[in-house]
Structure 1
Amino acid sequence: MTYKTRVLFICVANAARSQLAEALLRHTDSERFEAFSAGTAPSEIDPRTFEALQHLGVSTEGLRSKSLDEFVGERFDYVITLCDKSALECHALPGAGEALAWNFEDPTTNTKPEAFRHTLHEIHERIKMFVLVKTKP
């Protein structure tokens, strides 16, 4: 069995951005990456998160809002925060390899009708670049 790079995406509520990132990384390269997401203060997943992913044809199977506490003691190659607030709260996660801070606008508080698709597209572009860079021989 080949080793997969483990990536944990974190935002505060685990309702939109980190869910989008988890699903998009699985969609982009599930052979080489294992994707997870969690929130520092998890709530319910926003239904528009599922709609945006399904619109792009990305599987939403297994997505659920999870607390960071579920992953205590697990090892991750990358821990990627998706908002400034979670970056401040997650600077010292034990078992974390490289910590990356990406900052995306929260679509749940954005009033624009295309907010979720816009955030989905921005995260997807960043993930494609991440995969490209991290899988170079």
Structure 2
Amino acid sequence: MREKISLLYLCTGNSCRSQMAEGWTHALKSDEIEVYSAGIETHGLNPNAVKVMAEAGVDITGQKSQHIDEFKDTKIDYVVTVCNHAHETCPWFPADCKVVHVGFDDPPKLSAPDASEEVKLDGFRRVRDEIKTFVETLPRFLAEEK
């Protein structure tokens, strides 16, 4: 049996994109990947991310918003940055890891602040589905990035 790879999804606040990616990876790839998520800041779980993941049958309520510093002593094979800001401004990455950037739109920024709840959720759903499509390519995608 092959050893699992360890993967950390990183975004700015660890509230939406990285949380959805962690949830999808748990749901779809837990036999191959030990997954974590973190941010360069912590903003807590976004309730709309929780809601749209639940619609897809993935419960992320047990996950928490974590800071990258919490992983200083964790062996990480890959860091996947899921937003440009984290990719460009992360103060450090775990030693000996491969950093791969796969950017996704920030769901809260996909609609106007005064948009209806349904319009706001549609942005979250689109990004959720894009992240699922990406996770389905793992770990093959990571091997190709070497």
TM-score (normalizing by structure 1) = 0.89
Q: Between Structure 1 and Structure 2, whose CA radius of gyration is higher?
A: 2
Secondary structure at 1:130 match in 2: coil
| Match 2:137 to one of 101, 125, 129 | 129
Post-superposition offset of 1:96: 4.4
Structure 1 position 129, deviation (Å) = 1.3
Structure 2: which 5+ runs fail to align? 112-118
Summarize deviations over 1:7-54 as a string: whole Å, max 9, x none: 000000111000000000111110111110001011121100111110
Cα deviation for residue 62 of structure 1 reads: 2.3
Aligned equivalents of 1:96 and 1:49: distance in 2? 31
Distance 1:81 1:48, change over 3 A: same
Q: Partner of 2:134: helix, strand, or coil?
A: helix
**Whole-angstrom distance in 2 between the partners of 1:33 and 1:79:** 12
Percent identity over the alignment is: 27
| Partner Cα distance (1:104, 1:43) in 2 | 18
Partners of 1:66 and 1:92 in 2: CA distance: 15
State the Cα RMSD in Å. 2.0
Residues matched between the structures, number: 136
Residues 71 and 94 in structure 2, CA contact (< 8 A), matched pair in contact too? no
2:125 paired residue number: 117
Contact 1:81 1:100 in 2 (8 A): yes
Shift of 1:120: 0.3
Match runs of 1:58-77 below 5 Å? 58-77=58-77
Unaligned runs of 5+ in 1: none
Letter in 2 for 1:85: H
